[in-house]
Amino acid sequence: MNAVLALENGRWFRGDSVGAEGETTGEVVFNTSMTGYQEVLTDPSYSGQLVTMTCPHIGNYGVTSEDIESRGPQVAGFVMRAHSPIASNWRASGTLQEYLRDHRVVAISGIDTRALTRVLRTSGAMRGALATGTVDPQDLVTRARNAPTMEGCDLVQGVTCAEPFEWDPSTDRGSIGFELQPERRTKQRLRIAAYDYGMKRNILRRFSAYDCDVTVFPAATPASDLLATRPDGVFLSNGPGDPAPLDYAIDNARALVDSGVPTFGICLGHQILGQAMGASTYKLKFGHRGGNHPVKNLHTGRVEITSQNHGFAIDADSVPNDIEITHTNLYDGTVEGLRHKTRPVFCVQYHPEASPGPHDADYLFSLFLHEMDDTPLGSSVSAR
């Protein structure tokens, strides 16, 4: 069956439908990772996005329930150069195409993803419409132009949990998050209260590997409810979309900063903490999505190869004097880490839990443990 992807700037691409039949809209972005398509599909941070994989061959190792990062696929649509109709992996429980169809994900294959990526790099991420069957490309262009913009949208409410819950690693079939040995163990089991803005499961797996017990709370839960559980620390997760309209999350994060409880944020959690501490955010031209982004630790001078997935960033010029920029992206100089100078609060834009991905940044979990153990390290993000 035919499929067409149309962009709001009038460009369109015709290919083959390899997922569910139907139509979908969203922001068209690209990811440069060579592997990890199932983790990408199930990462809630991709909610509302039509994700293009720049690696030309996708699906060759199939899919497995052990590698999902949430309850199922979260992307608005999926775009590939060439999908594999077979799964060559002993772990595979099925093919990618079967997985896409079973989970009602509209997907297209057989288009020139290099050309598409060049358009997005030149013009920036833009709205798109993807449809299967007999469709008029110009009609799809119009639908793309009428789709909601990413700016100003609260996508968190569509991916956060409905009720608080205790994370039980024994009920999770994933294993990757437990394979990497943690850098240190806690003096005693520590209790973490975590805000779920669209949290990846591998974050929870890493906390479990570090001997932490985690209670997960919906995104709009008042900070007072989390603090009432007397956690050793609070974690702010990754998530989709624009942080600016998330007033409830920013207000809660501000209360956490004022409380003095050790607080750690990743990705969207980093942006929310940044705004809570007085900084502002802006939309990147085409975002950072991939598994090979170099980030420099400004204290140690070390460079970490990181996994990233975000379309917004902290404005470096807006960072207040009591906040320190700790990490920067070596591709474009954007802010990749912040730390409060007098309170146990720090955050990073990238993903130290990345699965699959480099493990250069896993030490950040250890630093959070140091904060919760009240170990006098000075500037935690500079110690390693």
Confidence of residue 378 (pLDDT cuts 50, 70, 90): very low
Give yes or no for a contact between 40 and 33, defined as CB atoms under 8 angstroms apart. Answer: yes
Has 288 been annotated as catalytic? Answer: no
Query: CA distances (Å), 69 to each of 37, 38, 290, 373, in order?
Result: 11, 8, 16, 29
CA distances from 223 to 236, 250, 256, 315 (A): 11, 10, 7, 25
Query: Is the pLDDT at 344 greater than 70, yes or no?
Result: yes
Bond into 356 cis (ω within 30): yes
Is residue 218 in a domain? yes
What pTM was computed for the model?
Answer: 0.94
The active-site residue out of 267, 288, 327, 347 is 267
* Residue 268 DSSP class: H
Q: Residue 44 belongs to a domain with what CATH number?
A: 3.50.30.20
The pLDDT, as a whole number, for residue 86 is: 94
Tokens (6 digits) for 8: 């709001």
Rounded to a whole number of angstroms, the distance between the first and last alpha carbons of the chain is 53
Q: Which residue has the tokens 């294959």?
A: 109
Tell me, yes or no, whether 199 lies in a domain: yes
Reported as type and span, the H/E element at residue 234 is strand 233-236
Query: Across all residues in the chain, what is the average pLDDT?
Result: 93
Q: What is the DSSP letter of 185?
A: -
pLDDT in tens, 114-147: 999 999 999 999 999 999 999 999 999 999 999 9
Contact between 243 and 272 under an 8 Å Cβ cutoff? The reply is yes
Note the pLDDT of residue 179.
Answer: 64
Average pLDDT of 9-32? 97
Of 172-186, 216-230, 316-330, 334-348, the one with minimum mean pLDDT is 172-186
Q: Does any domain span residue 151?
A: no
105 is a domain residue: yes
Q: At 172, is the pLDDT very low, low, confident or very high (cuts 50, 70, 90)?
A: confident
Determine the Cα–Cα distance for residues 179 and 6; give it in Å rounded to an integer.
41
Q: What does the pLDDT average to over 341-346?
A: 96
Q: Which of 83, 270, 327, 351 is catalytic?
A: 351
Please tell me whether residues 287 and 201 are part of one structural domain.
yes
* Confidence category of residue 346, pLDDT binned at 50, 70, 90: very high
Q: Does the annotation count 267 as an active-site position?
A: yes
Q: Residue 181: inside a domain, yes or no?
A: yes
Close Cβ partners of 374 (under 8 Å, ≥ 6 residues apart) = none
Residue type, 323: I
The CA angle 102-7-306, to the nearest 5 degrees, is 70
Catalytic, 23? Answer: no
- Host domain of residue 351: 156-382
* pLDDT exceeds cutoff 60 at 153: yes
Per DSSP, the three-state class of 191 is: strand
Question: Of 27, 39, 324, 353, which residue is the catalytic one?
Answer: 353
Q: Does 200 lie in the same domain as 263?
A: yes
138/166 same-domain check: no
CA 216, 222, 223, 227 dihedral sign is negative
Asked if the model's pLDDT at residue 308 lies above 80, the reply is yes
In this structure, the answer to whether residues 92 and 239 fall within a common structural domain is no
Q: Are residues 377 and 237 in the same domain?
A: yes
